[in-house]
Amino acid sequence: MRVLVYSDDASTREKVRLAIGRRPAADVPLVEIVECATQPAVIKHLDSGEIDVAVLDGEAQPAGGMGVSRQAKDEVHNCPPILLLIARRDDRWLANWSRADAVVAQPIDPVVLAEAVADLMRRRLSLTRAH
């Protein structure tokens, strides 16, 4: 499955990539990571229909992951599940506004992030099997 990782910060993308690994849980397929540093690249990849799960950095600049998530949910047909990385737990209300499917607070806990991505992968697999 393809997992898109969006952040303007290369170290954040690396932390996410390392947390997810090749397979975030034993019962999900191997992962191919697609890294993006800009909002237009994210939308292009999501529009392609080839992304299964997206992990977006809420603190990315100039386009934050929350706004990108909301845009994707509004504009991308069959938008994949989106996990949003937030800086503060108090940002959960913004994550709700963004229509993200899951939220993980920073600093990134690799176990929590891997479990959340695996859950979204399972959700994506069940949706694709239903269609």
| Percentage of the residues of the chain whose pLDDT score is greater than 70 | 99
Confidence band of 93 (pLDDT split at 50, 70, 90): confident
Please give the Cα distance from 126 to 12 (Å, whole number). 29
Residue 98, pLDDT > 90, answer yes
pTM > 0.75: yes or no: yes
Residue-wise pLDDT for 16-29, tens only, equals 999 999 999 999 99
The answer to whether position 87 is within a domain reads yes
The answer to whether position 46 is within a domain reads yes
Identify residue 18 by its one-letter amino acid code. L
Number of domain units in the chain: 1
What is the CATH classification number for the domain harbouring 7? 3.40.50.2300
Q: Which domain holds residue 108?
A: 2-125
